[in-house]
Chains A and B, each alone.
Chain A
Amino acid sequence: MLKDFITAIKLLKYNPKVKSHAVFSGIFFVIGLFYELTGKGDSILGVIYLLCPATTFWQSHYTSCMCGLVQSSQAKKKMQTYYPFLLCIPYLLLVYVIVFVYHFYLAKNGMEGFTYSVNYGIQSKYLFFAGAMLGTLLIYSVVSYKEFVISVIVLVVVELSIIFLGLSESQKLISFFGRHFTQSVAFSIIFVVIGCAGAVIMANLLYKKDIDEIAVKGIARSLNK
């Protein structure tokens, strides 16, 4: 397992855009952290940006699959179904645990300017939608490389509804989540587990399908020498 993990990290080096991936992963992580610390449950965007580095791991391994050498090697299947998960899932779970602990702490200790019950509802709502967002993005990251247009349409519909509900300040919604804190935490964890399992299953189901041209069009054009 550890050996495979080291191999997965080593393989990152060979993708064509490793530098820009690394730089932008760092930038997105900082932006995510900024949103997370300043929003304190108001905005769901922090989670999206904290997840972005994981999708760049994915991109790194999938773009390496365009190489003929990888296509003809025995590691072809592993490059799509095993190595990306070794990096992404631990990273995402780590991020999720940090976000979870932070918002749990905010829920228990309260925030300035909010009554205890409203704050409780806001944090409960945030945890629920953060789990849903993470689960959806995990499955989307895999499917988008095989069916780009369809997956983007589905993602836009699902994500927009999650973002709008997550940003909503409706008192009904907040009081509903406030009353069901335990259930929303449980559903959040279930969403994450479904996301991880769904991503692994989809990767195994779709690995024989060619990588969608549109998803890697820019890179393919720049490499076609």
Chain B
Amino acid sequence: MKDMLKVYRIFCNRIYSIVVLVLFPALAIGIYTMLTGRLAEWSLFIIAIYMMVLGVFGDFFCYNGINSKDFQFGLFRNTLNGRKNLKLAIVTDQIRRLLQISFVLLICGAITLSSNSTLNKCEIVLLTLILIAFVYGANSIIISLLRFITEYTIYMGTAFILVSIFGAAVSVLILYRYEYMTINLWAWLIVFIVLDVIGSFLAVKMPLRNFDRSFKEREV
């Protein structure tokens, strides 16, 4: 545990941790308390997109460029435990991401449960779980792609497109569920769990692959 935090803090400095781990999630819960009751299920969806944007743009400040072929791993390459530590740092980041998203969305779900919502309680719990699975999976896939980009203008432009594509996907899901009643939420929970597994695999595997590649001679 101590090692995990130590390695994680190599990439994520104090200001980043305070802003991304404390300030913005607190702001999200604050926004949610204002929204809840007015927008019903859409308010949970807005917070889900908010967490996705936070995860994507927050990643720029810590792991930016880690998948790009020119990335220099510095001292990680000079130690015997370099690969292990890099893996630990990324896995810790993924665990942090899952816990953060779960924490914020579960609190938001609990607020909806305690309010006079039109949805039944089982439905709210299921919707919260689906959104947690979706946000984590989408976030992991988006950042795995964006970690190839080192220039921030291009990063921002591409991030907007990817976030809007995934956001549109989940909004269509919610629209079909609550406007036309044609979607089975349990099936989608399974689909999103598969998305989580793929996302986690990509997020962890790609930097390690890049790390291994950094020892090889570059083709001219």
Using CB atoms and an 8 Å cutoff, list the residues of chain A in contact with chain B.
17, 20-21, 24, 28, 31, 48-49, 52, 55-56, 58-59, 63, 214-215, 217-219, 221-225
Q: When each residue 154-177 of chain B gets 1 if its CB lies under 8 Å from chain A and 0 otherwise, what string results?
A: 110110110000000000000000
Interface size class of B (residues with CB under 8 A): 10 to 19
Taking CB atoms, residues of chain B closer than 8 Å to A31 are 161
Given contacts A17-B151, A20-B149, A56-B151, whether A218 and B157 have CB atoms under 8 Å apart is no
Interface residues of B in 125-162 (CB under 8 A from A): 149-155, 157-158, 160-161
Contact across chains for A49 and B157 when beta carbons are under 8 A apart = yes
Contact across chains for A17 and B153 when beta carbons are under 8 A apart = no
What's the minimum C-beta distance from A56 to chain B, rounded to whole angstroms? Answer: 6
The residue of chain B having its C-beta at the shortest distance from the C-beta of A49 within the complex is B157
What's the minimum C-beta distance from B158 to chain A, rounded to whole angstroms? Answer: 7
Using CB atoms and an 8 Å cutoff, list the residues of chain B in contact with chain A.
61, 64-65, 68, 70-72, 74, 149-155, 157-158, 160-161
The residue of chain A having its C-beta at the shortest distance from the C-beta of B73 within the complex is A221
Q: How far is the CA of A30 from the CA of B140 in the complex (A)?
A: 27
Contact across chains for B72 and A52 when beta carbons are under 8 A apart = no
Contact across chains for A218 and B154 when beta carbons are under 8 A apart = no
Contact across chains for B157 and A20 when beta carbons are under 8 A apart = no
Contact across chains for B150 and A222 when beta carbons are under 8 A apart = yes
The residue of chain A having its C-beta at the shortest distance from the C-beta of B19 within the complex is A149
Taking CB atoms, residues of chain B closer than 8 Å to A224 are 72, 74
Taking CB atoms, residues of chain A closer than 8 Å to B157 are 24, 28, 49, 52
What's the minimum C-beta distance from B143 to chain A, rounded to whole angstroms? Answer: 13
